[in-house]
Copies of this chain bind each other. A is one copy, B any other.
Amino acid sequence: MYAATRDSAHAAAAPSPDSGGGQGGPVGAPIAFRGAHQGGIVTPAQDRMHFVALDVVSESAEDLQAMLTAWTRAAERMTYGAEAAPGGAVGLGPYGVPTDTGEALDLPPANLTITIGYGPSLFERFGLDGRKPEALHDLPAFMGDDLDPATSGGDICIQACADDPQVAVHAVRNLIRLGFGVVAVRWSQLGFGRTSSTSVAQKTPRNLFGFKDGTNNVKAEDAEALAQHVWVAPEDVPGGAAWMAGGSYLVARRIRMHIEVWDRTNLQEQQDVFGRGKLEGEPLGAKKEFDAIDFSATRTDGLPAIPLTSHVRLAHADNLNGVRILRRGYNFTDGSDGQGHLNAGLFFVAFMRDAHTQFVPMQRALAAKDGLNEYIEHTGSALFACPPGLADGADWGTQLFG
């Protein structure tokens, strides 16, 4: 009876036949859970994020597969604003252990998406060697990296994005609960503000250096760019790795930003570091944010308008043999660093067709020359293979294990 009550309370948030991808606002229709691709990649970037990396602590492939199947059911329900399982918070009666933790009971779906990914280490166990995509191997070390193993790597990741952080945290927490005995939390990151747009309909947000970020991001509306730069093509994953076609690789980098140092630099230094104006986000030498970037433009003193060490120049496709990625990062603030400063920064998340031919050359160029390096430090890193979306009736367990 309780279950019926709860489910009818959620009627307004029932599964929609809509193809998803639209942003209906906190009380709009939920984002579709099933389709050719997972949600949370080209979905218009929601405002908040909870990301978790998990270690698989069970040795049993059956346990792992069963958990992934159970996760699929729960994730689909929660995406539509329902509890993690029928019955949920109270429906099993006084002697039942609730199958939903309840903190999102009164909240709308808030555009929740739940995106799953698998780390290289997962495929060394559970008889999965033959299904490992060739491109799924650890990122190389980059100049200046200061990675903490405790906030790097992981067998499985869950990215939950929503416009209400409590909805995102609830989703992650309930999947962890369902995985008790099979997975343990390795690291977890809350992002309070999006730093990327993934749709032309979204305004470009700002990072904690106060600059608009990701103006030239790959956008959901550009199907050709998505096919070329974001979605794994069947020819990329022959043989046992064919399950990954239509998926995407997720690179996560926890980037500590030394905001106190930055805040004492002048505007010109800041703009030269990014290669853009602070107020409008225009490429230096141009007028408006989306004006074409002219890397040959010079200032009156003859120097390049966009400095050779600027972030926008080094990260631009024109200077990277056409390489692009879909960025989907978030600002974070994790307490204090114990030395009198906020522990703040950017949780960089990006999706791409092959991290080793896209992120790696881009990050090598940035690590070598980016003026921003004076103000940032990469403290965490991970790579995950996010499988394609699920067709009706399919689930993550059978998708991974075949």
**B173:A267 contact, CB within 8 angstroms:** no
Mask, A331-374, CB within 8 Å of B = 1, is 10111111011111000000000000000000000000000000
A213 vs B278: C-alpha distance when bound (angstroms): 43
**A333:B267 contact, CB within 8 angstroms:** no
Contacts of A172 in B (CB 8 A): 342
Mask, A159-202, CB within 8 Å of B = 1, is 00000111001001100110010001111111011000000000
**B150:A279 contact, CB within 8 angstroms:** no
A207 nearest CB across to chain B (Å): 7
Tell me which of B48, B104, B106, B277 contacts A192 (CB under 8 A). Answer: B48
Most chain B CB within a 10 A radius of its CB, from A89, A187, A337: A89
**A190:B188 contact, CB within 8 angstroms:** no
Knowing A2-B279, A180-B260, A264-B97, the reply to whether A105 touches B206 (Cβ < 8 A) is yes
A207 vs B104: C-alpha distance when bound (angstroms): 9
A43 nearest CB across to chain B (Å): 20
Q: Which residue of chain B is the closest to A94 with respect to CB atoms?
A: B268
Contacts of A302 in B (CB 8 A): none
Tell me which of B57, B187, B190 contacts A333 (CB under 8 A). Answer: B190
Task: Report the contact-size class of chain A (Cβ under 8 Å from the partner).
Answer: 35 or more
Tell me which of B103, B177, B342 contacts A207 (CB under 8 A). Answer: B103
| Residue A266 is within 8 A (CB to CB) of chain B in the complex | yes
A343 vs B338: C-alpha distance when bound (angstroms): 18
Mask, A206-221, CB within 8 Å of B = 1, is 1111110000000000
**A267:B192 contact, CB within 8 angstroms:** no
| Residue A93 is within 8 A (CB to CB) of chain B in the complex | yes
**B336:A259 contact, CB within 8 angstroms:** no
| Residue A50 is within 8 A (CB to CB) of chain B in the complex | yes
**B340:A185 contact, CB within 8 angstroms:** yes
| Residue A285 is within 8 A (CB to CB) of chain B in the complex | no
Mask, A84-96, CB within 8 Å of B = 1, is 0000011011111
A112 nearest CB across to chain B (Å): 14
Interface residues of A in 59-99 (CB under 8 A from B): 89-90, 92-98
Knowing A166-B331, A279-B90, the reply to whether A102 touches B211 (Cβ < 8 A) is yes
Contacts of A277 in B (CB 8 A): 90
| Residue A265 is within 8 A (CB to CB) of chain B in the complex | yes
A187 vs B340: C-alpha distance when bound (angstroms): 8
A206 vs B167: C-alpha distance when bound (angstroms): 12
**B336:A185 contact, CB within 8 angstroms:** yes
Known: A90-B279, A101-B263, A106-B203. 11 other contacts (CB 8 A): A90-B277, A92-B267, A101-B209, A101-B210, A103-B331, A165-B165, A180-B264, A184-B340, A185-B340, A189-B335, A192-B192
Q: What are 11 inter-chain pairs, A to B, with CB distance below 8 A?
A: A2-B279, A55-B340, A95-B268, A96-B266, A101-B263, A105-B206, A166-B193, A166-B331, A176-B342, A189-B335, A190-B190
